[in-house]
Amino acid sequence: MGRILSYMKKYWFLALLASAFMVGEVFVDLLQPRLMEIIVDRGILGLDRGGVPDPGLVVSTGVRMIFIVALGGLFGLLSAVFTNVTGQNLGNDVRKDCFRNIMHFSFGQMDDFSTGSLITRITNDVTQVQQLVMQMIRGLVRCCMFFFGGTAALLSLDLSFGVIAACALPLILIDIILVVWKTNPLFSLLQASLDRLNSIMQENVAGVRVVKAFVQEDAEEARFREADRELTDIQFNVQMMLSFLRPVMNIVLNLAVVGIIYVGAVRVQAGETAPGAVMAAITYISQILNGMMMLAMIFQTLSRGLVSANRLKEVLDASPDLKDGTLPEGGARKRGTVAFRNVSFAYPENPACVLHDIDLEIRGGETLAVIGATGSGKTTLVSLIPRFYDPAGGIVEVDGIDVRKYPLKELRDRVSVCLQKSELFSTTIRDNILLGKRDASEEELRAAARAAQADDFILQQKDGYDTEVAEGGMSLSGGQRQRIAISRALLKKAEILIFDDSTSALDLKTEAQLYEALRKDYADVTKIIIAQRIASVRNADRIVVLDSGTISACGTHEELMRTSPVYRDICESQLRQNEGENTATGNAGGRAERTQEGGRA
């Protein structure tokens, strides 16, 4: 909680003003019973004038009460305004800092927290902390003022009234302690259940096409119902515990009022107190016990707010796994070169090595293709270049320098990555491409799109480059999304360009045109291409064959056909597949021709 409260430093003056105005509002509330006592005892009953009423006093005191109530309302309004400004600003700062920290998390840290949990923390948990801060500024001052100020005022009327308050308070405290003790452990479970519900919702919204394609709507609805039922059950248990709080406190309050009336009647009959004082005492005892009820609600908010504050602290205190390095001064730069020196890698959640003893040097301006079976480590290999992960062993060098010595921004400015899954954002096509280079000119933008074979189809859209893209790019085909993503990667004009199976949705003709544009217009850029199709890689300067996390062969297409059994197997399997497809197409065409001839006959 200390980390969250540190955000209050900027807004301490606003919080102080909110508390000061709340003191003024409560002071007015405490003053009113005294004025009512004057109206009853002196204005109506005329106890100081031998039983003769004083209408003038009633009017003048009533006018004073109206003025004081209006002043108290103004104090309450200002207190609410400054409290909300403080709470909203604090929540705004916490949200932005959480998001900023999340943006610097490594992929491993993102997996540890999970997307659903991060969404819950940056939304619901921040809201809970806001409510806690606002309660502490406004509610705590109010209930403390009512308790201490009301008690002092009650005792000033008659000490016997204080005995009744002293009997009621322990019952209220026991009720509060029991409820807080029972509900406090449930709040952690409540937030965890909310995490799970958000994760399921996020997965199904993002993967709605898969759900529909496999007709899994009922199964996913059942999974959501189960998570929702778990959340509902916990919320129900919390509310059940809290539901005991108010009835018990109301019973105690009513018993205290009855006690005040009884004792007051005895004291009035004995001539030891006045009826107005009894009325004031009833109001004060109500204010005291309502202040205690408010304190109970603050404890509830405090319990949940502390859970949320700890969850936010985990995000704010999480230091990014990947630290910026410091480039050595001087030294030659081998522009566009990449080197893997005895590199091994294993994912944190899986101790088995994905890559073993990788030794590879890539020359500047070279086109290097990487091919291999699914799970052979192709994506993992190229992910080490922009330092999405650090190797478990060995060194990865860019331009002759260990990637861990670079500041992350400088390293990633040198590398442009285009993934198989084309991530597009809910903005225009232009803005999606300009992510590669925000200050690019129109000509640079169009040149990148032309090289990616995207310019023609973009201009055919309703608003051209200013066409809005639906969430996740779902308003575009897979090939269109990939070409926009390729345009974005090319616009960056980095010295190293990585295509991670990012042409899989393109037809062979479009892919060939893309590679021809890369050969002509990006000849000085080092290109690393991961692909599944031999046709996509056969013209590369060199081809690396990965097999079970190790480099089994490296060379040109012709060299590998002679020396690499793994590469030959891949080529022959794809050739057989193509022949089978051609045969099936031919048979279908023959059947169609025979059908047509039969029809003509």
What is the model's pLDDT at position 593? 46
**CA distance linking residue 264 with residue 270, whole number of Å:** 10
User: Which residues does residue 500 pair with via DSSP β-bridges, in sequence order?
Assistant: 530
**CA distance linking residue 74 with residue 56, whole number of Å:** 27
In 452-531, where does DSSP find H-type helix? Answer: 455-459, 478-491, 508-521
Where along the chain do its domains lie? Answer: 2-317, 338-562
- The total of other beta-carbon atoms located within 10 Å of residue 94's CB is 24
Report how far apart the first and last C-alpha atoms of the chain are (Å, whole number).
Answer: 88
CATH fourth-level superfamily of 338-562 = P-loop containing nucleotide triphosphate hydrolases (3.40.50.300)
What is the model's pLDDT at position 1? 63
The answer to whether domain 2-317 has CATH 3.30.1490.390 is no
Tell me if domain 2-317 and domain 338-562 are identical in fold.
Answer: no
For residue 521, how many C-alpha atoms fall within 13 Å in the half-sphere facing its CB? 16
What is the model's pLDDT at position 259? 86
Please identify every stretch of the chain with a pLDDT value under 70, giving residue numbers as ranges: 1-2, 209, 328-334, 577-601
**CA distance linking residue 239 with residue 245, whole number of Å:** 10
**CA distance linking residue 74 with residue 68, whole number of Å:** 10
For the record, the structure tokens of 488 come out as: 């974005």
pTM flag (> 0.85): no
Are the beta carbons of 424 and 469 closer than 8 angstroms?
yes
What is the model's pLDDT at position 409? 87
Provide the strand spans (E) within 107-222: none
